Structure 1
Amino acid sequence: MSAAAFPSRPDRVVDGPTPKHAQLREILRHAVERELPPGSPIPSERELAERYQVSRLTVRSAIGKLVEEGLLSRVRGKGTFTASRRMELQLYLMSFTDDMRRRGLEPTTEVLGTTTEVPPAATANALGLAEGAAALRLKRLRRADGIPLAVERGWYHPVRVAGLFELDLTRSLYAQLAEQDIRLDHAWQTVWAESADKETARLLGIRTGSPLLVFRRVSSMAGAPVEDMTSWYRGDHYQVTMQLDRSSPDSGNPAKHGGTR
């Protein structure tokens, strides 16, 4: 994409109290957020330097900040592109498969491992298991249109979903469980932020230390806990929006349902 074709306001980078890299960053931000569709290439460092009469170091600094914010992404050997818009993570009980299809995306699942083992104390408490009792453990990688979006590590009650490992674990578990009249109808969910460790970064195709949104969900059927799932979502593809009302907090206590934060 040539600099001449790059849409932007008729701004100039000028001498003044605001550093030039900050001025250029805001010019580029305006173009990225309001004028360019996701996946659009932006001009090269050389073209931007010539267009705005600044050094390539200034351009590199402005672009680097927007990459850190997730508005731009660098592709080795190809250039810099506007990033995909972040998807809203819906705060209601829905499977990943249904959520992606609702957005018009094709979900796929890779099973990374299944075991039967004794869970951590917090999970045993969440699932209502006796101390030392084993649970079913499932780890999966979730993709949409081929892009890795989330790593899931779930624990399941060994009696209430005893046939879990006999299901097609590459498909929606909720849909298959519903076919067996196991319908998850309630969940407590806790959200926090983490930096990606080496293994999670490798699975998601991102750098170690990249921001992640982490969701821990304890789901139940008719009051009986069935699933304790923790999901690590890519921070560059997701955001969470909540409506807050000024009112007294509910008397419910998430901690007794397995919440940890």
Structure 2
Amino acid sequence: MDSLTGTSVPVDRVVDGPTPKHAQLREILRRIVERELPPGAPIPSERELAERYGVSRLTVRSAIGRLVDEGLLSRVRGKGTFTASKRMELQLYLMSFTADMRRRGLLPTTEVLTAARARPPAATAGALGLDGRDPAFRLHRLRRADGVPLAVERGWYHPRAVPGFLELDLAQSLYAQLAERYGIRFDRAWQTVWAESADRETARLLGIRAGSPLLVFRRVSSVRGEPVEDMTSWYRGDHYQVTMQLDRSAPDSGHLPKHGGTR
């Protein structure tokens, strides 16, 4: 029943009337996605949907775009549009991306975007205990699982803790190499989480629309009290969620991190 006219409207057709066609099509697609298609299933192309429902491709694009914004659909560049996969739980303990994806039965791959020695921003220099003039190692990577881009990482590493850092195979598990070459096994970290909209560059790397929601994690990791890594990671909001256990205990303000938790 159409809520505006009180008349019966076919649930699988787009008709002329007061309800915009893109809104009608959006609800048709929503019902199909929620009731008929499993997570990760492809939906028909814009051309097929336009022909099936007798609407323009612009109408189809508008309807799909809204469902992508809602997280019900996900676009994969060069492959098409799919029903959103079940969101993965982001782990709040010290585990590498590679180990985490393998634990989930996924194939992790890494693309190194930038690796260089450079002067870090003031917040990072403070977090790593560096003089403002000291250079550090900068690493910018794109992380994928089963070919799907999931996260962009920008990390800084203490130069005296990891000499020869740029000689490592930075497309492989970094934590495993830090342990093998330097004996570094992070035993403590301070982590801050916030939400952010994807800028154009991050959206391009992740294959999503600019403005899409991201979960952002900044983590400063230490070994025996000495900070080694300052890492900020941008995770796709349509693929991840965070669950935390809370209790009524008040935090001990005397043990808050000196470096703070903001960028």
Distance 1:255 1:20, change over 3 A: farther
**1:159 maps to 2:146:** no
Partner of residue 214, structure 2: 212
**1:68 maps to 2:61:** no
Partner of residue 239, structure 2: 237
The 8 Å contact of residues 32 and 82 in structure 1, kept in 2 or not, is answered as yes
Tell me the CA shift for residue 58 of structure 1.
9.3
Partner of residue 222, structure 1: 224
Distance 1:33 1:240, change over 3 A: farther
Gaps of 5+ in 1: 1-13, 51-55
Tell me the CA shift for residue 116 of structure 1.
1.3
Gaps of 5+ in 2: 7-17
Q: Which residue among 245, 256, 259 is the counterpart of 2:258?
A: 256
Distance 1:79 1:146 in 2: 14
SS where residue 92 of structure 1 aligns?
coil
The range that moved more, 232-241 or 245-254, is: 245-254
Paired amino acid for 1:207 = R
Tell me the CA shift for residue 15 of structure 1.
2.4
Distance 1:226 1:70, change over 3 A: same
Matches within 5 A, 1:1-261: 14-16=1-3, 29=30, 32-33=33-34, 35-42=36-43, 45=49, 63-73=64-74, 80-179=81-180, 180-251=182-253, 253-260=255-262
TM-score normalised to the size of structure 1?
A: 0.79
Distance 2:58 2:86 in 1: 27
Distance 1:194 1:38 in 2: 25
TM-score normalised to the size of structure 2?
A: 0.79
Distance 1:42 1:148, change over 3 A: closer
C-alpha RMSD over aligned residues:
3.1
The range that moved more, 207-216 or 148-157, is: 207-216
The range that moved more, 174-183 or 74-83, is: 74-83
Partner of residue 11, structure 2: none
The 8 Å contact of residues 75 and 207 in structure 2, kept in 1 or not, is answered as no
Per-residue displacement from partner, 1:171-195 (whole Å, max 9, x unpaired)? 1111111113111111111111112
Distance 2:75 2:109 in 1: 25
The 8 Å contact of residues 76 and 207 in structure 2, kept in 1 or not, is answered as no
Distance 2:235 2:139 in 1: 17
Q: How many residues align?
A: 245
SS where residue 256 of structure 1 aligns?
coil
Distance 1:248 1:30, change over 3 A: farther
Paired amino acid for 1:156 = Y
SS where residue 258 of structure 2 aligns?
helix
The 8 Å contact of residues 139 and 154 in structure 1, kept in 2 or not, is answered as yes
Distance 2:184 2:67 in 1: 45
Tell me the CA shift for residue 24 of structure 1.
8.0
Distance 1:105 1:58 in 2: 36
The range that moved more, 236-245 or 33-42, is: 33-42
Per-residue displacement from partner, 1:232-255 (whole Å, max 9, x unpaired)? 111221111222223322335544
SS where residue 231 of structure 2 aligns?
strand
SS where residue 228 of structure 1 aligns?
strand
Distance 2:252 2:246 in 1: 13
Distance 1:103 1:256, change over 3 A: same
